[in-house]
Structures are given as C-alpha cells and as structure tokens.
Amino acid sequence: MALAEITARLRAAEKAAGRAEGSVTLIAVSKIQPSPRVEAVLDQGQRVFGENYVQEAAFKWPTWRAKYAGVKLHMIGPLQSNKTKVAVDLFDAIHSVDRPSLAERLANLANARGASPDIFIQINTGEEPQKAGILPQQADDFIAACRAMFLPVVGLMCIPPDEQDPVPHFKMLAQIAARNGVEGLSMGMSSDFELAVAHGATHIRVGSAIFGARNVVART
Ligand SMILES: *Cc1c(COP(=O)(O)O)cnc(C)c1O
C-alpha cells in the first residue's frame, strides 16, 4: 500500500539523516483526488492532509472531519485574498503566505478571532516570475513584518523549479530559516522528499506517491 510505503521511506530517511523518528510530518496532498482514495488513506490512519484550493477543501472536508477525529488540514496552494476568511476557518496551517497584503488580512482575522492557523512563509527560491513567494533577498524583512503583526510564523515553504536539482533550494530555505530563528521547513514532494529530509525538512508534502496520479481534468 502506497501510504505504508511512503511512511516507511520517510522513517528510513529520518534515520539516515540522524533525525528523531517521527520528527518529520507527512502531509498527504489530497487535492483533486477521488474521494475513495482519500477515504482509504483516512481509514489507514493518516490524519494530516494538504489542499490547494479553498473551495474544494471547504466542500470535501467537513464530512470527513465529522467522521474521522483529529484531522489537520494544511493549505499549500496560492491563497486569494477574498478566500482568506474561509481559509482561516478551515485550515490548521497555511503554507502559502507570500505577500504583505495577505499577511495583513491574516493578522486582522487572527485578532478578531483570537486565534490563527500556523503560518508558513512561501519563499520563491528559484526567483521564478510565474511562481508565488517572497524573493529570497526580501525574506528577512517579510518574516520580521509578519512577526510584528503577531502572526505565528512556524516555518518557511518552497517549491523548487521543475527539472532542477532541488538541493540548492532546500539549502537556501534552511539557511533563511536558521538566520531568522524559524524552525519549520515545508519542503519535499513525491519525487524528492528523502532529499528534503536530509536537508532538514520538518514537513513534507506528498501527493501522487500516496494517492496515485491526479486527473487534472477533474479539477473544475
Ligand atoms: C500538488 C502539490 C504537492 C504534491 O505534489 P506531488 O508531486 O503529487 O507529491 C506538494 N506541494 C504543493 C505546493 C503542491 O501544489
């Protein structure tokens, strides 16, 4: 079974990296997956899931949350400002905080509710124009600004450029985190999570290796 295999590979990667067993959180990325596949993984005990689209997650997860205790949801896709309110009510963590206006909205909502999801700041380590994220050279200022708004910054997140060696990107993210005293590192996907663990990932985001290939046509 794919979940058991990925979990076993994760435990082996932790061990190889001299990391404590269970110190890396496996986020099962369930976006656009057919419900029976997600339910199978819930039935096997997985409780931490990642989603990319607020509306899709808001549609799917209330039923599963009622049925399975202890589900934690992580928002890993780009977050549009007009969906921020729904997102903070739904998600336990947001990995895609990538601009000052979004941070301000999140801070205002946190103030009003007296609680905030865990905040990860997305860094555009490859400086790709089409990709979301704070540029590396602006990361220190942005982290400080988020902290000044009392947002609970627990980690940094990156999505390395396609078809490039991800290791320099993992290293860069770890360096930015270390010099800012940020503990969490959300990095590593189906194809490279073991490398990410070797470079300090605390959260890996694995979709297709657990659930199978996504049918992109099914999204809308
Ligand atoms: C879809 C997605 C993943 C999971 O990708 P896989 O290659 O299926 O493991 C991880 N992170 C982000 C940000 C994603 O959008």
Nearest Cα residue to 23 out of 31, 12, 32, 14: 14
Domain of 77, in residue numbers: 3-211
Q: Is the CB of 52 under 6 A from ligand 1?
A: yes
Q: Is the CB of 157 under 6 A from ligand 1?
A: no
Examine residue 116 and state whether it is found in any structural domain, yes or no: yes
Examine residue 20 and state whether it is found in any structural domain, yes or no: yes
What's the average pLDDT block by block, 10 residues per block, for the chain (220 residues)?
A: 94 97 98 97 98 98 98 98 97 98 98 97 98 98 98 98 97 98 98 98 98 72
* AA identity, residue 53: Y
Q: Supply the pLDDT for residue 216.
A: 65
Ligand 1: residue whose CA is nearest its atom 5? 207
Q: Supply the pLDDT for residue 220.
A: 45
Ligand 1: residue whose CA is nearest its atom 15? 77
Q: Is the CB of 207 under 6 A from ligand 1?
A: yes
Backbone angles phi, psi at 122, to 5 degrees: -85, 125
Q: CA Rg, the chain, in Å?
A: 17
CA distance 56 to 86: 12
Q: How many A from CA of 189 to the centre of ligand 1?
A: 6
Examine residue 16 and state whether it is found in any structural domain, yes or no: yes
As given in the structure block, the two tokens for residue 97 are 């905080």
Total-model pTM: 0.96
Q: Supply the pLDDT for residue 1.
A: 62
Examine residue 104 and state whether it is found in any structural domain, yes or no: yes
CATH of the domain at 55: 3.20.20.10
Torsion of CA 78, 71, 158, 205, to 10 degrees: -110
Q: Is the CB of 76 under 6 A from ligand 1?
A: yes
The domain total for the chain is 1
Atom of ligand 1 nearest to the CA of 193: 9
CA distance 186 to 182: 11
Examine residue 217 and state whether it is found in any structural domain, yes or no: no
Examine residue 10 and state whether it is found in any structural domain, yes or no: yes
**Would you call 57 helix, strand, or coil by DSSP?**
helix
Examine residue 219 and state whether it is found in any structural domain, yes or no: no
Examine residue 218 and state whether it is found in any structural domain, yes or no: no
**Would you call 93 helix, strand, or coil by DSSP?**
strand
Return the residue matching tokens 């770890």.
174
